[in-house]
Each structure stands twice: as structure tokens, then as C-alpha cells.
Amino acid sequence: MVAFCAQLGEKPFRATQLFRWVHQRGVRDFDRMSDLAKAFREKLKDCAYVVAPPVAREHVSRDGTVKWLFDVGRNNAIETVYIPEDDRGTLCISSQAGCAVGCRFCSTGHQGFSRHLTSGEIVGQLWWAEHALRQRLGTQERVITNVVFMGMGEPLHNYPALVPALRTMLDDHAYGLSRRRVTVSTSGVVPMIDRLAHDCPVALAVSLHAPTDALRDTLVPLNRKYPLAELLAACRRYLDHAPRDFITFEYCMLDGVNDQPEHARQLIELVSHASTGLACKFNLIPFNPFPQSGLRRSPNARIAAFAGMLSDAGIVTTVRKTRGDDIDAACGQLAGEVQDRTRVTERMAKLRHAAPRATA
Ligand code: SAH
Ligand code: SF4
């Protein structure tokens, strides 16, 4: 923004003012940016605009979860989900249209890779959601307190766009989110975990899903490139820089595949072992089924037993609540909407110009 303002012959503090108008206050109309000189506002109107990708669809769930489907062009759509809870508001955002990793249990993975999102498209999801929600709730207070990169895409495959987006989320002149409350979730792109540790260490979640290489190879194909020992070593290195003193392991519970007592024992061994062990918490995710996967969700009793074994071994373990089931906003459900491209395209035309109005 400083460089952009310099091109227009403006001083760096103008960049800060502009940043605050756009991100803190959600204002897109330059004429409303009252502390900017008129001449500067005119220059901005000639060469810039403030816009998020158009919303193609919006769903509000009975439990308050809101899902937006954004049109990112060429028949690609990405999804963003807001999950309200008593003590926080979490936004789950996407980093790519589609995903190249191709995990067996993930409908985005089945869809394949379309393209990387730009930093603007990543941050634009937060910009839109924060200001649309403030307007809806009639508040000037912050609504979104946490961001998780658990929507579509592998964020560490889109590293050049990810880091500026993260920095904007953390910036006090923008969203001012704490590093502990922004979580990058990855299937395990080892070299990029190391880079993130140095460039922008936020909370890290790693999608583990299996205790052995033999099983993980079949679920998360990236494991063949970065096997478990390397992945866990990278997690350990990350902890030296991380804002939290543990890594979160996500583990999708798949009936008869990775949910047996034997798997729990192997996991305990893996994370407590002298060479691979590390400080971690487990988040067990009940699988959200979709037809092409050929997989089933583990029964609740088995998930509870699995969680019990990990907890008894001293590992903090939570089972993720499923939210927004009635609007297909649960994890891994995102691509279903995207594949239904006709409906998306029809709605896009109508909603192309929809954007949160300035509230300042
Ligand atoms: N690519 C990143 C982040 C996006 S996926 C990653 O894999 O971590 C976010 C989380 O949703 C991952 O833990 C992923 O394993 C999980 N997930 C994907 N499909 C799912 C499904 N059908 N049911 C439950 N969880 C799923
Ligand atoms: Fe990609 Fe994550 Fe889905 Fe795997 S689980 S295909 S890495 S989005």
C-alpha cells in the first residue's frame, strides 16, 4: 500500500489511512474517506477500486453458521464459512480454487486444482465477512476473532499469496488478529512449514489422518513426498517459532480405515516417541461423507473410544462439533456446491455487484 501510494506521489502515512478505511471500517467509496485530501481521493477514483469477489450464494444455517460462495471467475467458486460461538467468531477461509493434493476423503481434493487465489481474494473473504456481519448485527465491534485456513485449498501451496494475506490479518491498522487466533492448516508441505516459521509464524494445524506412512500414503498422497518422520520433525522445528506451544493435529475419522484401537496406539507411540514425539493436541473430525469417496463416518461410539485412548495417554483431544450441516457448510462439503456450476452462474449475474456498504 505504501508503494502504491508512492506511485501516486503520496506519503507513507496516507497508506496507513487508506488501509484503515478499507480494512478496519469496510469503506469502499473513496469519497467517504473524509481525512484524505480531495485531490488524493480523485486520483484513487481514477486508478483503484475496493471490491471482494462477488457473492454467488449465501446460506444461513439454523445454528447461525453463514456460508458464502464467492465467484472467482471462469466458473470457479470458493467458499467461506462463519461459525459463531459463545466466546468467539471463527471464519473458515479458502486459499485456492480446488486443490492439487487430492486427499481421498476430501471433496475439494476430488475436484482437482483450478487456480491459486490472490492475496486480495484471500483477505477479501475476511473483509467481506467482517463488514457484512457487522452491518447485519448492527455493530461497529469486531465480529470475527479467529481465522482458520480450513476451506478449499492447500495454503502452503499458495505461499506467495498467503503471507501478505496473513500479514494484513495481523496488522493493527487492518484486522489486528493475534497470531494465536490465525491458524494455517496444512496437509504437510514440509519446506513451507519451515518458511512460515520464519516469515509469519501463526498457529499451525497439521492434517495427520493416519499414524503410519503406509496408511497415510493412501489418504494424503503428499505423504509420499514428505513422510511422517519429516513432517513431525518440521512440526518440532515450527514450535520454536510458533505463537502456541503445541501443534494441532487434525484427524478425520473414517469408518474401518483409521479409527481402530490399534491406530490410536500407533498415534500415541508416534507423538510420544523420543525421535518423532512433540507437544500436540488432537482434533478428531467426524468425516463428512460425499458419494464419490466410498468412505463412511466412524460411529460416534468409536470416535469417543478413540478420543478416550488419546486422552488417557495424556494427549489433549477434542472432537469437532459438526456445524452448519443443514447448509452443507461442514468440512469437506464445499466442492459439491462448486460443481453445481449452473446454479452458481445464474445467481452470479444477479449478485455481481453485491458488497457490504460503508458503515462509517
Ligand atoms: N488443505 C489443508 C486445509 C484445508 S482442508 C489441509 O488439508 O489441512 C481442512 C481440514 O478439513 C483438513 O484437516 C481436512 O482433512 C478436513 N477435511 C477435508 N475433507 C473432509 C471431510 N469430507 N470430512 C471431514 N473433514 C474433512
Ligand atoms: Fe487439499 Fe486439504 Fe482437501 Fe487434502 S484435505 S485435498 S490438502 S484441501
Catalytic residue among 154, 235, 331, 337: 331
204 lines ligand 1 (CB under 6 A): no
pLDDT on residue 331: 55
Q: Which atom of ligand 2 is nearest to the CA of 107?
A: 3
Pocket test for ligand 2, best of 92, 93, 101 (most atoms within 8 A of CB): 101
- List the domain range (segments joined by +) for residue 39: 1-50
Provide the pLDDT confidence category of residue 276 given band limits of 50, 70 and 90. confident
Task: Look at the pTM and tell me if it is higher than 0.85.
Answer: yes
Do 31 and 134 belong to one domain? no
CA of 188 to the centre of ligand 2 (A): 10
Residue 131 has pLDDT above 70, yes or no: yes
SS3 of residue 331 by DSSP: coil
Report how many domains make up the chain: 2
User: DSSP string spanning 84-143?
Assistant: EETTEEEEE--SEEE-SS--TT-HHHHH-EEEEPPHHHHHHHHHHHHHHHHHHHT-SS--
Catalytic-residue membership of 79:
yes
Catalytic-residue membership of 200:
no
Atom 17, ligand 1: residue with shortest CA distance: 332
Radius of gyration of the chain from its Cα atoms, rounded to whole angstroms? 21
pLDDT on residue 283: 97
User: Which ligand lies nearest the alpha carbon of 207?
Assistant: 1
pLDDT on residue 273: 82
Segment 205-229 shows an average pLDDT of: 98
96 lines ligand 1 (CB under 6 A): no
Mean pLDDT is lowest, of 91-95, 121-125, 324-328, for 324-328
CATH at 194: 3.20.20.70
Give the residue from 36, 42, 6, 37 showing the smallest Cα distance to 22.
36
CATH at 13: 1.10.150.530
Q: Which atom of ligand 2 is nearest to the CA of 105?
A: 5
188 lines ligand 2 (CB under 6 A): no
Residue 324 has pLDDT above 70, yes or no: no
Do 175 and 274 belong to one domain? yes
Over residues 223-255, the pLDDT tens digits come to 999 999 999 999 999 999 999 999 999 999 999
Structural domain contains residue 360: no
